[in-house]
């Protein structure tokens, strides 16, 4: 394990796969629930995110080969996707929560726990916490890790990402109170800038590979 690579992968994934956009939906769904049930929601969300990320890390490249897509093409497409996502995060706050959490009725709190667990998977887990941008980044990082032998660092970064998001959910009420709507907007825009930069890097790498292939006799 290379700590430098873990930091690189984790920072890139955190910029895209943080659960700040999911806080509003999460708090609305879990308002008034006993702490044990809230933990079940958090575990369900974390589990689905971890499984999805590991599947894309392990099988993403194989899926590309099945469809005949080169890694260079996927780098360019993924970079464009991340770039658009970054622009959206900076311009519109990526639908960041406003801090106004709808009040849940007693009937919702008492009789809809299974529906809440379902919502913990979609949309709280996917796509609000990890979405298409995160999956694209994981596939591209997996390709990089396979070439330089840092797959273990990427795995640790994914585990750390899921753990950090779980802790943010656990202390979501405090986070919302401390940051406020303005703080969340500023944080989201900063993450959008890093997401855009990562997307540009992927596009440059993909184009460089395409140009190198064209120049090869």
pLDDT in tens, 102-150: 544 554 444 567 877 787 887 788 877 887 788 889 999 998 999 999 9
Q: Which one is predicted more confidently, 177 or 54?
A: 54
DSSP calls for 90-147: HHHGGG---S-PPPPPHHHHHH-HHHHHHHIIIIIIIIIIS-HHHHHHHHHHHHHHHH
Nearest CA to 9 out of 197, 154, 119 is that of 154
In the chain, % of residues over pLDDT 90: 28
- CA dihedral over 80, 85, 89, 92, signed as positive or negative: positive
pLDDT value at residue 14: 93
Number of domains present in the structure of the chain = 1
Which structural domain, as residue segments, surrounds residue 89? 3-212
φ/ψ of 111, rounded to 5, equals: -115, 10
Q: Is the peptide bond before 71 cis (omega within 30 degrees of 0)?
A: no
Q: Does residue 12 fall inside a structural domain?
A: yes
pLDDT value at residue 16: 86
In the chain, % of residues over pLDDT 70: 88
- In the predicted model, is pLDDT for residue 5 greater than 70? yes
- Of the listed ranges 26-30, 49-53, 75-79, 184-188, the least confidently predicted one is 184-188
Q: Are 42 and 170 in contact (CB under 8 A)?
A: yes
Q: Does residue 130 fall inside a structural domain?
A: yes
- What are 48-87's pLDDT values in tens digits? 999 999 999 999 888 888 888 887 887 788 788 778 877 8
Residue 101: pLDDT band with limits 50, 70, 90: very low
- Average pLDDT on 14-41 reads 83
pLDDT value at residue 92: 53
- Average pLDDT on 167-189 reads 79
Residue 202: pLDDT band with limits 50, 70, 90: confident
**How far is the CA of 67 from the CAs of 33, 61, 73, 86, in angstroms?**
45, 10, 12, 27
Q: Please, is 117 exposed, middle or buried when counting C-beta atoms within 10 Å of its C-beta (0-12, 13-18, 19+)?
A: middle
Distance CA(170)–CA(36), nearest Å, equals: 11
Q: Does residue 217 fall inside a structural domain?
A: no
DSSP calls for the chain: --HHHHHHHHHHHHHHH-SGGGHHHHHHHHTT--HHHHHHHHHHHHHHHHHHHHHHHHHHHHHHHHTT--HHHHHHHHHHHHHHHHHHHHHHGGG---S-PPPPPHHHHHH-HHHHHHHIIIIIIIIIIS-HHHHHHHHHHHHHHHHHT-HHHHHHHHHHHHHHHHHHHHTHHHHHHHHHHHHHHHHHHHHHHHHHHHHHHHHHHHHHHHHHHHH--
pLDDT value at residue 88: 77
Q: Which one is predicted more confidently, 88 or 140?
A: 140
Residue 96: pLDDT band with limits 50, 70, 90: very low
Distance CA(13)–CA(168), nearest Å, equals: 15
pLDDT value at residue 112: 62
Q: Does residue 111 fall inside a structural domain?
A: yes
């Amino acid at each position: 394990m290379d700590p430098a690579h873990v930091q690189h992968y984790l920072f890139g994934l955190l910029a895209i796969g943080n659960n700040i956009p999911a806080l509003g939906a999460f708090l609305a769904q879990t308002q008034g629930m006993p702490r044990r049930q809230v933990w079940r929601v958090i575990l369900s969300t974390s589990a689905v995110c971890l499984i999805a990320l590991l599947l894309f890390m392990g099988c993403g490249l194989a899926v590309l080969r099945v469809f005949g897509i080169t890694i260079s093409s996927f780098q360019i497409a993924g970079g464009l996707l991340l770039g658009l996502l970054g622009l959206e995060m900076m311009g519109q706050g990526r639908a960041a929560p406003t801090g106004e959490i709808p009040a849940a009725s007693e009937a919702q709190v008492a009789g809809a726990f299974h529906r809440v667990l379902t919502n913990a998977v979609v949309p709280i887990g996917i796509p609000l916490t990890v979405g298409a941008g995160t999956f694209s980044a994981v596939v591209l990082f997996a390709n990089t890790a396979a070439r330089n032998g840092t797959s273990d660092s990427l795995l640790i970064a994914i585990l750390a990402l899921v753990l950090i998001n779980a802790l943010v959910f656990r202390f979501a009420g405090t986070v919302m109170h401390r940051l406020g709507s303005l703080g969340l907007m500023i944080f989201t825009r900063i993450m959008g800038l890093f997401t855009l930069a990562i997307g540009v890097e992927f596009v440059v790498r993909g184009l460089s590979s395409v140009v190198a292939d064209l120049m090869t006799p």
